Structures are given as structure tokens and as C-alpha cells.
Amino acid sequence: MEERDESPVNDIRVRKLERGKQNQRRKRLKERQLFHELEARNEWLEAQFGLLNNGSGEVAKLLAQVKQLTDDNQRLKQRLRVADEFVTSWTGAKPENTTLVTSQTELHEADSGERQCATFSSRPHHDAGPDDDSPMPEFAPLGGGTASSEESPEPSTLRPDSDGRRMSLAAAAASSTSQVTDLIPLLVDKLQKVLDLPEWRKLPVHCQVHPCVDPYGAVMQHLRSSAAAFSQCSPEPSILDLMFGGSLNDLCNAIFLRVSATPLRRTERLGSSWNIYLFLKWLLEPTEQSFELVPPSLRLTTMQLLVPHAPMIDYVI
């Protein structure tokens, strides 16, 4: 009876011992395999280390080139992604946002410009008359010419002091009226010549101003004097050049530096840069093709054709 009772217990112990041995064998086998893998990995790393140190600079040079190309590729992908967002937001803008100059506005400006030019004088300002104490404006040259001064007798009764002012009003008014009457035929002739020109040949009349109100004067002078730099100016700009700079197109670089200093939205900055580029390109190369690309909001008015002004006024959209 005792042998029968002990046999099941012995069987359980034997099975446990057998399982323990199997587990130990599997554990040692896994450790051995892991050890071999680590040895192989260590040998490979030592070989690579020795190749980099003792092998030559070719491998290091190739690795540096690969790293540089990878970085350039990442930067290019980033720029393309941002540019794609700019283009998407720009093309999705409403066309009604562009300010168009109507024909009635142009006619009104032309009429007011002719009336103002007809009242200009070629001499320093005098009093307009007994009912108007404001001085008359100077005569502005037409078509970008130099203002000419015609000889005329100065009124001897005109005095700066307040006592002689009232007595000289009549003589000053008569002298100014005579000068304006003599200048009317000349004004009409010059005005007719300017208005008879084709639209693409009507350039604005600029005066000599400080560089702070002529932001693109330096680059315009550079492009006019350098044929190589001018050849890089394409009829239409590149979006990447306008938004990021660093281009061979000097005009795009100048616009980028100027516009990027102004706090604008991305679409506003792209639109302003694009329009200014087309306008400056037409000033550099006044042709029908370049004039057709100029936005209607930047087309010149009659006053811009006749009255000398700062170039900054032409860039106002």
C-alpha cells in the first residue's frame, strides 16, 4: 500500500525536474544565441570604427556629403511646403480685393490735372489775388523735363512786411495773371504731347528726393547700368524669390528686403511684392508686353504724368 501511495508523488517530482531541465536548456540556448549576436554586432562596429579612423578620408567625406544632402533635402521640402501654402492661399483670394481705376475716375483726374497745370507759374510763388492769400504753386515741367524760368519784371511794390502786403496785392495779381496767360499755349502744347503718347510710353515724372522715399532707386540704377544683372530679371517674378530672397534676380531681392520689413500677412506680402515687381519691370523696360502685366491699380494718373513727385507715391496700391 505504501508503494502505491508513493508512485504518483514520484511521477510529479520527475516531471517537475524534467521541465526544469528543459527550461534551463532553453535559457542557456537563448543566452548563447544572444551572446553570438552581440559578438557579431561588436565585430561589425569595430570594423566600422577602424574603417573610419584608419581607412581614409573618403568614407568620412562621403558621409559628410550624404549628411549635407539630407539636410538640403529637408530644407527644400520645408520651403516647398510653405510655398505651396502661400500659393494656395493666394489663388484662393477673391479678385474683388484688387482696386480697379474706373474710367470716370481717370477722366476726373485728367480734368483736374489739366486745370491745375494751367494755373501753374514758372516763377517762385506770388500772391494769387486780393481774395486769396495763399501762394500760387510753381510750374512743374512736363514729361520729366527741367523747369524753365522765363524773364519777367518783378513787382517792385511786393514787400515781405505786413504793411506793404495789401498795397502789393493788385500788382502781384496782375503780374501773375500775365505770366499764366503767356504760359497757357506752352502748357497746352506739352500736355497734348504727353496725352498723345501710347499708354505704355507714359512714364511718371520723378524729382530728386532722399533715398528714404525712394526705396528702389539704388537697385533700379544698378539694373540700368548692368546688362548682366538686368538679364536676370524675368518678365514675371518667382514666388520663392519674392518670399525668401537669395535669388540671382536683384530686383526680387530688393523687393524681398523692403517688403519683409513691413508687418504684413503672407498673402498681402506676396501680392504687394508681385505688383511692385511688375511695375518696376515696366519702368526698367517700357514695352507693351511689360505694361500689360502692370496691375490696373498701379496704372499712372494724369497728375503722375505731369507733376514731379517722389517715386514712393507710385508704389502705393
H helices of the chain, where? 2-50, 57-91, 103-118, 165-196, 217-225, 227-231, 239-244, 250-260, 266-284, 288-292, 302-306
What lies within 8 Å, CB to CB, of 259 at 6+ separation is 242, 269, 272, 273, 276
In single-letter form, the type of residue at position 67 comes to: K
Beta bridge partners of 121: 138
DSSP string, 38-93: HHHHHHHHHHHHHIIIII-HHHHHHHHHHHHHHHHHHHHHHHHHHHHHHHHHHHTS
What pLDDT is attached to residue 31?
92
Look up residue 220 and give its three cell numbers.
533700379
Residue 314 near residue 205 (C-beta atoms within 8 A) = no
Burial class (CB in 10 A: 0-12, 13-18, 19+), 32: exposed
Neighbours of 93 (CB within 10 A): 13
Predicted TM-score (pTM) of the model is 0.43
Look up residue 142 and give its three cell numbers.
512736363
Residue 272 near residue 259 (C-beta atoms within 8 A) = yes
Residue 140 near residue 308 (C-beta atoms within 8 A) = yes
Domains of the chain, by residue range, sit at 10-89, 197-315
Look up residue 112 and give its three cell numbers.
483736374
- CA-closest candidate to residue 117, choices 169, 175, 195: 195
What pLDDT is attached to residue 95?
42
Cα separation of 80 and 72, whole Å?
Answer: 12
Give me the tens of pLDDT residue by residue for the chain, a chain 317 residues long.
Answer: 444 555 777 888 888 889 889 999 999 999 999 999 999 999 888 887 777 776 566 776 777 888 888 888 888 888 787 777 766 766 654 444 444 334 444 444 445 444 444 444 334 444 444 444 444 444 444 444 444 444 444 444 444 455 555 555 656 665 666 665 666 666 667 777 777 788 888 888 888 877 777 888 888 889 989 888 888 888 999 888 888 888 899 999 999 988 888 888 888 888 889 999 999 999 998 898 989 999 888 888 888 888 888 888 888 75
Cα separation of 27 and 21, whole Å?
Answer: 10
CA-to-CA dists, residue 20 to 8, 28, 289, angstroms: 19, 12, 92
